[in-house]
Amino acid sequence: MKQILLSMVMALFLAIGSAWAGEAVNINTANVKELQKVHGIGHKTASRIVAYRDEHGAFKRVDGLLKVKGFGKKTLAKTRDELSVGESGE
C-alpha cells in the first residue's frame, strides 16, 4: 500500500513539474486560453492583455504588461519568469 501511495505522489509531482517546466508564454502571440495557463493570470486579465495588444501593438518588454488594467507590479513579479515577448527571451 505504501509503495502504491508513493508511486501516485511521485506521478503527481512529475506531472506538475513538467507543466511548470514548459516554455515561457509569448505575450505577443498567445491567445486568452494560452495566457490563462500562466499561474496568476485569469480569464479577465488574459482578455485585457489580448485587447491591449490588439489596440496598441506588440509588447516590446514583459514590463509593458503594467499598462494593462489590473496587471500590477505584484502580478508581474509572480509571472515574469513564465512570460516572454518572443525572440528576446524576456
The contacts found for 70-77 with CB under 8 angstroms, 24 or more apart, are 70/44, 70/45, 71/45, 75/40, 75/41, 75/45
CATH homologous superfamily of 24-90 equals Tex RuvX-like domain-like (1.10.150.310)
Q: How far is it, in rounded angstroms, from Cα 35 to Cα 7?
A: 32
Q: How far is it, in rounded angstroms, from Cα 25 to Cα 16?
A: 17
Give yes or no for residue 36 having a pLDDT over 80: yes
Given pLDDT bands bounded at 50, 70 and 90, which one contains residue 25? very high
Q: What are the sequence ranges of the domains in the chain?
A: 24-90
Least confident segment among 22-26, 31-35, 65-69: 22-26
Least confident segment among 7-11, 35-39, 84-88: 7-11
All cell numbers assigned to 15: 506531472
> What pLDDT is stored for residue 10 in this prediction?
57
pTM for the complete prediction?
A: 0.72
